């Protein structure tokens, strides 16, 4: 691996600062986490977007959330075909090995992946249709969601699709036999959230209302 470069020095300085303060003040906790292993209460499936920090929103410290982040917080349907499926592996590990009590899918506003999916499905982003487009093929997971929102007013459609991405992920989660069993046995609950980055709002899906409701 000859291509690896040294870390920029401002990050090295910040790391040393962290070690001299946050780490140093909490050494006992970090050591215990290392020795006793992690026992997170919840798994969070969130977007890679740099603007969404679930640990900040929920004041979560090291050890609290097992966090998977991918483009547009999507979970594909259960497909045990012997190929590698990174997201499915995180769900399996969280439920089977860590036995988390909650899986939270957290969508968000201004999502670039969702916008891409919208444009691809509307025919204005042909490059995402290419077989070689990883983003396009990943966003295929959300195609059934696009079908459900295509008659929504154009101004509101992307936002509606962001929320569908959460619902599609929850639905796909339930296709995993070990998730379904754990939910039915009351050993696991699943939750759908959507946050507005600019307004700091948080909404959760309410099955009784059939829509997302502000918290």
* Cβ proximity to its own copies, 23 vs 150, nearer residue: 23
Q: Give the nearest distance from C-beta 156 to its own copies in angstroms.
A: 16
Based on the shown chain and the rule CB under 8 A, indicate whether residue 55 belongs to the binding site for its own copies.
yes
Based on the shown chain and the rule CB under 8 A, indicate whether residue 25 belongs to the binding site for its own copies.
yes
Q: How far apart are CA 173 and CA 139, in angstroms?
A: 16
Gyration radius from the chain CA atoms: 19
Within 64-103, which residues bind its own copies (CB under 8 A)? 64-71, 74, 76, 80-94, 97, 99-102
Element spanning 212, H or E:
strand 211-214
* Residue among 192, 42, 41, 215 at smallest CA distance from 108: 192
| Six token digits for residue 110 | 């201004």
Q: How far apart are CA 189 and CA 40, in angstroms?
A: 14
Within 97-126, which residues bind its own copies (CB under 8 A)? 97, 99-102, 104, 109-110, 112-113
Total of residues contacting its own copies (CB under 8 A): 127
Based on the shown chain and the rule CB under 8 A, indicate whether residue 5 belongs to the binding site for its own copies.
yes
Give the bridge partners for 43, in sequence order.
66, 103
Stretch that binds its own copies, among 25-33, 118-126, 144-152, 154-162 (CB under 8 A): 25-33
Stretch that binds its own copies, among 5-13, 117-125, 143-151, 153-161 (CB under 8 A): 5-13
Give the bridge partners for 102, in sequence order.
42, 189
């Amino acid at each position: 691996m000859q291509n690896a470069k040294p870390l920029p020095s401002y990050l090295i300085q910040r790391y040393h600062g962290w070690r001299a303060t946050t780490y140093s003040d909490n050494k006992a906790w970090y050591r215990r986490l290392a020795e006793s292993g992690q026992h997170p209460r919840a798994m969070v499936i969130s977007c890679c977007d740099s603007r969404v920090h679930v640990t900040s929103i929920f004041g979560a410290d090291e050890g609290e959330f097992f966090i998977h982040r991918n483009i547009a917080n999507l979970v594909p349907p259960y497909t045990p075909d012997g190929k590698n499926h990174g997201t499915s592996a995180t769900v399996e590990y969280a439920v089977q090995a860590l036995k988390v009590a909650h899986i939270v899918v957290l969508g968000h506003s201004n999502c670039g992946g969702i916008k891409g999916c919208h444009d691809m499905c509307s025919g204005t982003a042909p490059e995402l249709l290419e077989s070689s487009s990883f983003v396009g093929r990943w966003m295929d997971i959300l195609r059934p969601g696009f079908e459900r929102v295509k008659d929504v007013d154009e101004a509101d459609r992307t936002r509606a699709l962001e929320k569908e991405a959460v619902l599609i992920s929850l639905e796909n989660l339930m296709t995993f036999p070990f998730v379904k069993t754990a939910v039915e046995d009351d050993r696991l609950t699943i939750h759908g959230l959507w946050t507005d980055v600019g307004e700091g709002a948080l909404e959760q899906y309410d099955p009784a209302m059939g829509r997302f409701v502000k918290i």
